[in-house]
């Protein structure tokens, strides 16, 4: 049976309010007709300010650094791919030993965040094209915390992403997915133009996940983690 943990962390009032403001701002800036009206420099400054304020208070980010990253490092992977880069994730590579023991790669479609990572280990590309950069069965760990619902919004794109990850992971490789659960019990999609049944699913409900992966975490951790004060969910998978 899958192990599920609900983390009862409670950010203070300022943290909850800032998180709500951040979520609203993130949604607005992703609306094409509004995002285009906001100067890029202003958008970046506002988001960085909010990120700096909010992420010290969020239990999912605290759990990432206290539990998930140390667990991944204990697996002693030789090559890690982290999909999605933000100011608050730029230091995640510090949990892994330096090369040649471990290659820590990042990938993001947004060229503006490339400055946050060493250029020799950062890829500017859509995750759907990541197979152009790595050979099959060449990755030990893939971290995908955030892209589902914040860019990868359609079920067909989600299925293709899972299939690509499957081909790139070595047998027994680990796949960590982080996503937001909406009040309707479905994954959040911030820019949902009436997708209906075409929108992304809970990863555990996907046929590609059920066919090729086990819902299983490293020893001592639950396969799924949810939080009482934010909508984020972490799911661990291992390639069967």
What is the C-alpha to C-alpha distance for residues 36 and 171, in angstroms, rounded to an integer?
43
pLDDT of residue 27: 52
pLDDT of residue 54: 60
Among 64, 97, 72, 92, which residue's Cα sits nearest to residue 219? 72
Altogether, the residues listed in the chain come to a count of 240
What b/e sequence results for 38-62 when a residue is b if at least 16 CB atoms lie within 10 Å of its CB, and e otherwise? Answer: eeeeebeeebeebbebbbebbbbbb
State whether the Cα torsion 55-61-63-66 is positive or negative: negative
Cβ-based neighbour number of residue 92 at 10 Å: 21
Instruction: Please report where in the chains the tokens 């790139």 appear, as a residue.
Output: 168
What is the C-alpha to C-alpha distance for residues 163 and 161, in angstroms, rounded to an integer?
5
Q: Is 120 exposed, middle or buried (0-12, 13-18, 19+ CB in 10 A)?
A: exposed
**Residue 137 has which token pair?**
């069965």
CB-based contacts of 141, cutoff 8 Å, min separation 6: 72, 75, 77, 79, 80, 81, 173, 174, 175, 176
What b/e sequence results for 144-179 when a residue is b if at least 16 CB atoms lie within 10 Å of its CB, and e otherwise? Answer: bbbbbbbbbbeeebbbebbebbbbbbbeebbbbbbb
pTM of the model: 0.82
pLDDT of residue 9: 42
> Per residue of the chain (240 residues), what is the pLDDT tens digit?
345 565 544 444 555 555 555 555 555 544 444 445 545 544 455 555 555 556 656 889 899 999 999 999 999 999 999 999 888 888 999 999 999 999 999 999 989 888 888 889 999 999 999 999 999 999 999 999 999 999 999 999 999 999 999 999 999 999 999 999 999 999 999 887 788 889 999 999 999 999 999 999 999 999 999 998 889 999 999 999
pLDDT of residue 42: 46
pLDDT of residue 30: 46
pLDDT 10s digits, 78-133: 999 999 988 888 899 999 999 999 999 999 998 988 888 888 999 999 999 999 99
- Which fold, 4-239? Rossmann fold (3.40.50)
**Distance between alpha carbon 192 and the CA centroid of its chain, in Å?**
19
């Amino acid at each position: 049976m899958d192990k599920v943990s609900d983390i009862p962390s409670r950010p203070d009032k300022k943290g909850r309010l800032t998180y709500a403001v951040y979520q609203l701002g993130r949604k607005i800036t992703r609306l094409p007709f509004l995002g285009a009206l906001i100067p890029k420099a202003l958008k970046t400054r506002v988001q960085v300010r909010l990120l700096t304020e909010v992420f010290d208070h969020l239990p999912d980010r605290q759990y990432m650094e206290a539990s998930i990253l140390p667990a991944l490092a204990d697996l002693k992977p030789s090559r890690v791919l982290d999909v999605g880069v933000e100011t608050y994730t730029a230091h995640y590579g510090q949990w892994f030993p330096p090369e040649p023991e471990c290659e820590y790669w990042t990938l993001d479609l947004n060229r503006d965040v490339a400055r946050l990572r060493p250029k020799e280990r950062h890829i500017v590309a859509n995750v759907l094209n990541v197979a152009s950069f790595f050979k099959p069965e060449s990755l030990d760990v893939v971290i995908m915390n955030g892209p589902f619902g914040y860019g990868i919004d359609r079920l067909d794109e989600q299925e293709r992403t899972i299939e690509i990850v499957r081909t790139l992971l070595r047998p027994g490789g680990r796949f960590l997915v982080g996503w937001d659960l909406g009040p309707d019990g479905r994954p959040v999609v911030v820019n949902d133009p009436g997708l209906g049944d075409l929108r992304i699913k809970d990863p555990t409900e996907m046929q590609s996940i059920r066919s090729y992966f086990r819902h299983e975490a490293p020893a001592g951790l639950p396969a799924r983690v949810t939080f009482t004060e934010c909508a984020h969910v972490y799911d661990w998978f291992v390639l069967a």
